[in-house]
Chain A
Amino acid sequence: MTTSARARRERRTGLAFISPWIVGFVVFTAWPILYSGYLSLTDYDVLTDPAFVGLENYERMAADPQVRLALWNTLQYAVVQVPLYVLVSLALALLLHQAGRASGFFRTAFFVPKMTPPVAVGVLLLLLFNGQYGLVNEALAVVGIDGPSWTTDPAWIKPGLALVSLWSVGTAVVILLAALQDVPTELYDAARVDGAGWWRRTRTVTLPMISGALFFVTVVNTIAAFQMFTEAYSAFFGAGTSSYSNDAALFYVIYLFREGFAELHMGYASALAWLLFVVIMLVTAVQLAVSRCLVYYEGEQR
């Protein structure tokens, strides 16, 4: 009797504590997902009531060359940016791990850029990657490379954005470094006794031991790459005295944003959001499946 009364009280108190999240989940997650599913089947401009149009938005999407362009741009960017980002953050973390007592100082240096607002990163992209006067091309010229027009040549806009995104690897570096520091040193000693060199130790001890953190960084960054918006929008889209836009930087979320909030095609934009949702879920599911074979979690029964 008393135990069940106590259990009931514990349940009531627990639910009371988590109730803000339950309300928030219903209002700002569950309802929006369902509602956007409904909206994607309508024609809605906010001013008049949504008109049900069935699958028309999806049919339009299939035929919309802008959707294809935006998807293609986003895919190209993600395929280049994600591996580059993970590799660079891993390389920096490995270096920091070898640096001993100096690593704290360098860690700060790698992390500080992460604090820069993405809008300002967009500005830096336009300035430092300027084809004629930019610092990047000036540096490349020193080693005899004639740098491209990063901010105007359609072929170089996405590589430029991917490079500039590396400036914000700070979080990933800190996460990977923490994982590296968690690897028990006995494992290295054992490998060394077996005569394994640095590369072999890294491949057979380090990488498996930090595969959980690597996976985390990869998944989070992939989701972010598919939602690339601010840096590209700040640099290549706007409505100043003359409105400007750039097809090579038309990422999926930028297109979604313009359809929704500039054109007020809320129904169509909702359909676009659903497609993005499905694409990201599929990619994440594939990554999860691949990780089953590659990721090692401690304490896991195999």
Chain B
Amino acid sequence: MTAVALGARADRGVARRRQRWLRALVVAALTVLAVVFVYPLVWLLSASFKPRAEIFDNRLLPRTPTLENYLTVWDAAPLGLWLANTLVVTALAATTVTLSSALVAWGFAHYRFRGRGPLFGLVLATMMLPGAVTLIPTYLIWHQLGFVGTTVPLWSGNLFGSAFYVFLLRQFFLRLPREPFEAARLDGASEWTLFWRIAVPLCRPALVLTFLFEAQASWTDLMRPLVYLQDTATFTVPRGLKAVIDQFGPGGESQWEVVVTASVITTVPMILLFFAGQRYFVQGIATTGSKG
């Protein structure tokens, strides 16, 4: 073995050792950061089991754990009703937007026709449109139709597809080979069958992703419930939580344990949703950015 080869091997050994050190350092840094990111959620959950006097003690575990706050909140606010309202709105919003966006995305992905390019350009343009711009006229439309005060405006706009999901689903539909569709067409399958029986099943993960994204967006939205809902009985949980903040938080009685517990109840369903669909969430977001 020549000296040069020996030297190279020694170099590689040093490099590998440095690499290992570096990785250990990276993992240590990430661990600290991960604690910083997750801690607020843990803090919130823990605080919801603390009596009022201990909320701000910032201890990880409650000194005198209690379920009192949950009973108080349940009495003070119609949380069961709010949760039920939100569940209905979220299910409707996510289902309608998934179906309608899939239809539109398929139309853009599979069929070639004049005007398709410019129309899809419009879809992309509306993605960049700030929501605040259409807030007032949209409110007036629902006002005209007599739906202000109901949860209808919170989901029924989703019947018409949503630019972001159309864009996302089109990416997936474009990847499908055309041959199976041509073959099915020769066998006399209708265009609807091609979409519903072939394209949709093949792109199921993308549809699940759309559903999950919209479920999260719909569940956590505060702006539209603030605009459209007036009666406490129609509130969604975020809107209800805002009412709880107003009553028990800075504007009211400073009973933070109530606010904290209501926040936990508002948040937990989303954490569950995330862990149920974790695979889809992370992969799906990865696809949105790289093609953006």
Distance in angstroms between the alpha carbons of A257 and B131 in the assembled complex:
12
Residues of B within 8 A of A123 (CB): 44, 241, 245, 249, 259-260, 263
Contact of B282 among A20, A27, A111 (CB under 8 A): A111
- Identify B267's interface contact among A120, A167, A241, CB under 8 A: A120
Q: Which of A62-70, A76-84, A96-104 contacts B (4 or more CB under 8 A)?
A: A96-104
B246 touches A240 (CB 8 A): yes
Contacts of B220 in A (CB 8 A): 115-119
Contact of B222 among A100, A117, A135 (CB under 8 A): A117
Interface size on A, residues (CB 8 A): 104
Interface of B is mostly: helix
- The answer to whether B273 touches A113 (Cβ under 8 A) is no
Contact call A276/B103, Cβ cutoff below 8 A: no
Evaluate whether A133 and B245 lie within 8 angstroms (CB atoms) in the complex, with A18-B119, A113-B37, A240-B252 already known. no
By secondary structure, the A interface counts as: helix
Query: What sequence of 0s and 1s flags, for each residue 248-292 of chain B, a beta carbon within 8 Å of any chain A beta carbon?
Result: 011111001001100100110011011000100110011111101
Q: Is B37 a contact of A167 with CB atoms below 8 Å?
A: yes
One digit per residue, 1 when the CB lies within 8 angstroms of any chain B CB and 0 when it does not, for chain A 128-157 equals 101001110010000000000000000000
- In the complex, what distance in Å separates the CA atom of A115 from the CA atom of B266? 11
> Residues 87-103 of chain A: 1 if any B CB is under 8 Å from the residue's CB, otherwise 0?
00000100110111010
Q: How far is the CA of A81 from the CA of B58 in the complex (A)?
A: 27
**8 A Cβ contacts from B105-144 to A:** 106-108, 110-114, 116, 119, 122-123, 126, 128-141, 143
A-B contact pairs, 16 of them (CB 8 A): A11-B111, A13-B111, A99-B26, A117-B241, A120-B238, A123-B249, A126-B249, A127-B56, A174-B289, A178-B287, A179-B289, A217-B289, A236-B250, A243-B251, A244-B251, A276-B132
Q: Which residues of A contact B (CB under 8 A)?
A: 7, 10-11, 13-25, 27-29, 31-33, 35-36, 39, 46, 92, 95-96, 98-100, 102, 105-113, 115-120, 122-124, 126-128, 130, 133-135, 138, 167, 171, 174-179, 182, 212-213, 216-217, 219-220, 223, 226-227, 229-230, 233-236, 238-244, 253, 256-257, 260-261, 266, 269-270, 273-274, 276-277, 280, 284
